[in-house]
Amino acid sequence: MDKQPRKFDKELDELKKKLIHMAALAETMIDKTVRELVDRDERLAEKVPGYEEELNRLQIEIDEAALTLLATRQPVASDLRFIMAATKINGDLERIGDLAINITENVHVLAQHPPLKPLIDIPRMADLARKMVRESLEAFVGGDPLLAQSVIMTDVQVDALKEQVLRELLTYMIGDPRTIERALALILIARHLERIADHATNIAEDVIYMIQGRDVRHPRTPKERPPGLEV
């Protein structure tokens, strides 16, 4: 073997490692933020803004590394698709970080009021979303289309939980106007978690596209969506 391809493989590995690091940070942000919400202990998420800054930095590093690789290595076929996927996935992971920050802000609003109800569905949504983020990156790194497919299927569960949260909290709001601000904050947290799951789904779809060259990004027509409030 000559030296060039081995150096290139190392550069691709470096890109992978940065993306895995981004995913681990995003997962930690979701975990800490939702634990702060459940345990009502604001020290739990105090490092979350710092993680977001690290995510931003990594996103830029990955874009720069991808541009350099494209310009200097002029990759084709699967390497090219891998690098293109990396520059899309870093954007999804960065936005997951932004959403975790949004959740934190709603958690701070809730911390100023007594708890509205025991939280069950929102922590479940958070667990599923974290699993989706982790597994979408595992699918990317391992080139595993089946794992990516299972991430896409999990999104249906997250959507169903969000609908359930919305319906339940609407009932609270209508029954007692004093619950409105808290219920709205919880609805928005559920919405942010659902969007995190959507970003993990985007990543999984990019992985399948990368591996199989098949586009799975728009499988549903709008007509199949259930009617009702679109949170």
- The whole-angstrom separation of Cα 60 and Cα 87 is 10
Residue 87 binds a second copy (CB under 8 A): yes
Task: Report the nearest approach of a second copy to the CB of residue 82 (Å).
Answer: 11
By CB under 8 A, tell whether 21 contacts a second copy: no
Interface segment toward a second copy; rule CB under 8 A; list 17-25, 113-121, 150-158, 187-195: 187-195
Binding positions for a second copy, 133-152, rule CB under 8 A: none
CA distance 151 to 178: 38
Q: Please give the size of the binding site for a second copy, defined by CB under 8 A.
A: 53
Cα separations in angstroms, 231 against 47, 125, 167, 188, 211: 28, 15, 11, 8, 33
Provide the CB-side half-sphere exposure for 43 (13 A, CA).
0
Residues 190-229 that bind a second copy (CB under 8 A): 192, 209, 215, 217-218, 221-223, 225, 227-229
Q: Does 46 bind a second copy (CB under 8 A)?
A: no
Spatial CA neighbour of 193 closest among 115, 116, 113, 132: 132
Would you count residue 3 as binding a second copy (CB under 8 A)?
A: no
CA–CA gap between residue 146 and residue 62 (Å, rounded):
26
First-last CA distance in the chain: 55
**Shortest distance in whole angstroms from residue 200 CB to a second copy:** 15
| Largest distance between two CA atoms of the chain | 72
Min CB(5)–a second copy separation in Å: 17
Q: How far apart are CA 94 and CA 56, in angstroms?
A: 6
Q: Which residues bind a second copy (CB under 8 A)?
A: 49, 52-53, 56-57, 59-60, 63, 66-67, 70-71, 74, 76-77, 80-81, 84, 87-88, 91, 101-103, 105-106, 108-109, 170, 173-175, 177, 180-181, 184-185, 187-188, 192, 209, 215, 217-218, 221-223, 225, 227-231
